[in-house]
Amino acid sequence: MKKKISIADLAPRTGTDYPKPFDEPCRARIRRALGNSAGLTDFGVNLLELQPGTWSAQRHWHTREDEFVWVLEGQVVLVSDAGEEVFNAGDCAAFKAGDANAHHFQNRSDRPARLLEIGSRHQDDIAEYPDVDLRALGSGYTHKDGRPY
């Protein structure tokens, strides 16, 4: 059995499943699920491409999932509760489960950026989005008061 993952053969997922209007800044993001292609179940690995002006996600944090992001190409800005920080190729960041430091990456440059995202997979994880009326549960997105979208 071959172990080499052919990125070119993986179907890209463009955009996001966020409900409108929260999808707007993420519509041009492109993800390729590297971990899924290998059948990984304990953690996910994605190759993320951000076109200029595109965000990785709405600012969020996870109750049960650790996240690790490594910038492979280009430049992005990490926006978190601590402020803003420029990341260039070779820079990385980690976000511990349960740390309520909401974060996301924005491509404010004039060139595409590529990032490697690695995160644990917990069915009972909740993602909180402090800037917008959004919460992610295993069953889908809800308003903060629990009403489903």
Domain presence at residue 66: yes
Domain presence at residue 7: no
So what's the pLDDT on residue 138?
Answer: 87
Domain presence at residue 51: yes
Band (3; pLDDT cuts 50, 70, 90):
confident
Find the domain containing 32 and state its range: 27-142
Domain presence at residue 18: no
SS3 87: strand
Domain presence at residue 16: no
Band (1; pLDDT cuts 50, 70, 90):
low
How many domains does one find in the chain? 1
Across 38-60, b (16+ Cβ under 10 Å) vs e yields eeeeeebbbbbbbeeebbbbbbb
pLDDT per position as a tens digit, 107-120: 999 999 999 999 99
Dihedral sign, Cα of residue 49, residue 55, residue 58, residue 60: positive
CATH of the domain at 35: 2.60.120.10
Domain presence at residue 53: yes
Domain presence at residue 119: yes
Enter the pTM of the model. Answer: 0.94
Domain presence at residue 15: no
